Amino acid sequence: MSINRTLRLGIGAIAVALVATACGGGSEAATTADHVRDGKLTIGIKFDQPGLGFREADGSYQGYDVEIAKYVASKLGVRPDGITFKEAPTAQREKMIMDGEVDFVVATYSITDERKQKVDFAGPYFVAGQALLVKNETTDITGVESLNGNKKLCSVKGSTPAQYVKDHHAKDVQLVELDNYSQCIEALRRGSVDVVTTDDIILAGFAGQASGELKLVGNTFTTEKYGIGLKKGDQETRTKLNDAIEQMIADGSWQKAFEQTIGPLRDSTLTPPAVERY
């Protein structure tokens, strides 16, 4: 090999190494405050939950969580066109936040002590409750007390409703855990499961889409406080998100966002929650 070629290869290798260091170092160290300064935010939402977080066929995003995300982003100083929405499936939310794949998550995300070990939460911005969804013709499942007889019940991996079933009804039902709620709805329609469980508001969104084919049964039996999940220890962003949620409630946008998205599909009254600062 000529000296010239050896030299060129050497310089090439150094250049590659430098670029790799710059990129790796740069993106790992960048905080949400840095992203905001650049006018950009990456926000995790659901892509398959009608009325809450939904990606339309044309690539646009709809739903209550999407509206919450856009409002808080605007209060941080980021315009809608600076937002990149990323799908944040139930079981991957903590990891996506910890790995810095997203700045925060607005995805029917219940605030729990277990999750608080890994991430922080602003909010709550909404309070839901676990419920049951069955086919319209089903008569033997009327509420949580009728979960018996080894019925097949579908929920999602890593979700609080799946955990609730494991803790309280492990012997009564066969729990089928899938990756997202649209897969559970599909299984219910096909008849491969008897009932789907998760938060009432999520089930209402799917029922609304199913034009009378599916129905919610019984009362809610847990309390699910929806928070905005963000990197643990980012007190500055959390305070700003909490302020934004309070402003959204105070100026009427919170109520309006609800009424224009999931609201018509849900029949109970709407009470704004108090933000919990910790």
Interaction between residue 161 and ligand GLU (CB under 6 A) = yes
Instruction: Give the span between the Cα atoms of 162 and 196, in whole angstroms.
Output: 10
Which 3-state string (H, E, C) describes the chain? CCHHHHHHHHHHHHHHHHHHHHHHHHHHHCCHHHHHHCCCEEEEECCEECCCEEECCCCCEECHHHHHHHHHHHHHCCCHHHEEEEECCHHHHHHHHHCCCCCEECCCCECCHHHHCCEEEEEEEEEECEEEEEECCCCCCCCHHHCCCCEEEEEECCCHHHHHHHHHCCCCEEEEEECCHHHHHHHHHHCCCCEEEEEHHHHHHHHHHCCCCEEEECCCCCCEEEEEEEECCCHHHHHHHHHHHHHHHHCCHHHHHHHCCCHHHCCCCCCCCCCCCC
Q: What is the closest distance, in whole angstroms, from the C-beta atom of residue 63 to ligand GLU in the complex? A: 12
Instruction: Give the span between the Cα atoms of 72 and 244, in whole angstroms.
Output: 5
Q: What is the closest distance, in whole angstroms, from the C-beta atom of residue 93 to ligand GLU in the complex? A: 8
Q: What is the closest distance, in whole angstroms, from the C-beta atom of residue 194 to ligand GLU in the complex? A: 20
Interaction between residue 160 and ligand GLU (CB under 6 A) = yes
Instruction: Give the span between the Cα atoms of 91 and 231, in whole angstroms.
Output: 16
Q: What is the closest distance, in whole angstroms, from the C-beta atom of residue 271 to ligand GLU in the complex? A: 18
Taking CB under 6 A as the binding criterion, the range among 54-62, 103-111, 210-218, 256-264 that sits at the site for ligand GLU is 103-111
Interaction between residue 94 and ligand GLU (CB under 6 A) = no
- When binding is defined by CB under 6 A, the residue of 36, 43, 134, 156 that contacts ligand GLU is 156
Q: Of the two residues 71 and 121, which places its CB atom closer to ligand GLU in the complex?
A: 121
Interaction between residue 109 and ligand GLU (CB under 6 A) = yes
- Interface size with ligand GLU, residues (CB under 6 A): 13
Interaction between residue 159 and ligand GLU (CB under 6 A) = yes
Interaction between residue 32 and ligand GLU (CB under 6 A) = no
Interaction between residue 108 and ligand GLU (CB under 6 A) = yes
Interaction between residue 254 and ligand GLU (CB under 6 A) = no
Q: Of the two residues 181 and 254, which places its CB atom closer to ligand GLU in the complex?
A: 181
Q: Of the two residues 71 and 181, which places its CB atom closer to ligand GLU in the complex?
A: 181
The contact pattern for ligand GLU, residues 223-252, with x = CB under 6 A and - = no contact, is -x----------------------------
The contact pattern for ligand GLU, residues 196-215, with x = CB under 6 A and - = no contact, is --xx--x-------------
Instruction: Give the span between the Cα atoms of 268 and 218, in whole angstroms.
Output: 13
Positions that interact with ligand GLU (CB under 6 A): 90, 107-110, 156, 159-161, 198-199, 202, 224
